[in-house]
Amino acid sequence: MEFEQTFMNFLLHHQEKHNRTYHFLILMDAILSAAKHIEHYYLTGALKGNLGYANKINVQGEDVMSMDVIAHEIVIHYLRTTGRVIHAVSEESADIIPINEEGGRYFIYFDPLDGSSNVSHGLPVGFLFGIAKRNLKGPEDLHLRAGREYIAAGMFVIPTGTLTIAFREAGTWRFHIDETMNYVKPVRLMLPDSQNTWELSFNATNRYTYREGVQEWVKKNERKYTFRYLGALAGDFHRILTRGGMFMYPAIVNHPDPKKNRPDGKLRLMYEASVVAFMCREAGGDAVDEHGTPILSIKPKDHHQRTALYVGSKPLIEDIAKALKR
């Protein structure tokens, strides 16, 4: 029999080695419990009728799925039990959710179930989260944090059963769920230098709606790399982290129906773009927005702010950033 190191054991050692407190362990334990519950509801979702619509429209004007509501409630429940969270930003709530404004220590930004188009098929979706900390040294302004101020960010791919998490200046790590529902076997991820495995990932239907420079970049580069697109950020980015290459969701500016343009991009900065950008940086990669600005440097003005996103291997991000700045 072989026994693998569990995520919690890994984290205990990590906290000890970096002289960190136990507060973060309490928060991570809650996030793990939430992910296991979401995993369970998703796996049984087709049988229990939970993979359909909830007959609700969210703050982004999108149809809400029953699983979105279930996953959101699960996460909020577990965050409340910790006593460590100041407030939470969730894709599923128009307002910031106060939890323990006085005594809390962390801010958490999350999308409990990202990748809606996969839900009715039971195919991979993601639970993404970013964590920032109260300013312990001075006055706390409670402002929303830029990604570079996150202390950790991660994603569960559901129901695949993986957790990928990055800790500030301590790398990006991947764990797999085992038969006892523990996440085990830490493997440190670094984007491969060799271009042999690199992939490009974007919604090809949109390619003629991108601005000229991006369309030209695609034309010039698309034959060099394999193309893969699942339509769920967590799943698509999961591949890029091990294979290298680039995931992008550019701004849509040339749509034949101008109402469908998205000049600010589609993905949400705080709980999608900054989360994957943080993981990518810790794995040796990078991420920029439509202006070539590093995603991690963008300070949100609004907690549901959208952004265009280009994330992946450094040479590709540097190259596209040049095209974006032109």
Binding residues for ligand F6P (CB under 6 A): 114-117, 203, 231-233, 267, 272
CB of 126 to ligand F6P, least distance (A): 7
CB of 44 to ligand F6P, least distance (A): 22
CB of 51 to ligand F6P, least distance (A): 15
By C-beta, is 104 or 159 nearer to ligand F6P? 159
Name residues whose C-beta falls within 8 Å of residue 1's C-beta, 6 or more positions apart in sequence: none
Integer-rounded Cα Rg, in Å, for the chain is 19
By C-beta, is 126 or 186 nearer to ligand F6P? 126
By C-beta, is 114 or 286 nearer to ligand F6P? 114
Would you say 272 and 155 are in contact if contact means Cβ atoms under 8 Å apart? no
CB of 192 to ligand F6P, least distance (A): 22
Strand (E) or helix (H) holding 177: strand 172-177
Strand (E) or helix (H) holding 281: helix 274-282
By C-beta, is 108 or 267 nearer to ligand F6P? 267
User: Which residue type, as a one-letter code, is found at position 167?
Assistant: F
What is the C-alpha separation between 277 and 270, in angstroms, rounded?
10
User: Which residue type, as a one-letter code, is found at position 58?
Assistant: N
Other C-beta atoms lying within 10 Å of the C-beta of residue 19: 6
Question: What is the DSSP code (8-state) at residue 252?
Answer: B
CB of 272 to ligand F6P, least distance (A): 6
By C-beta, is 70 or 151 nearer to ligand F6P? 70
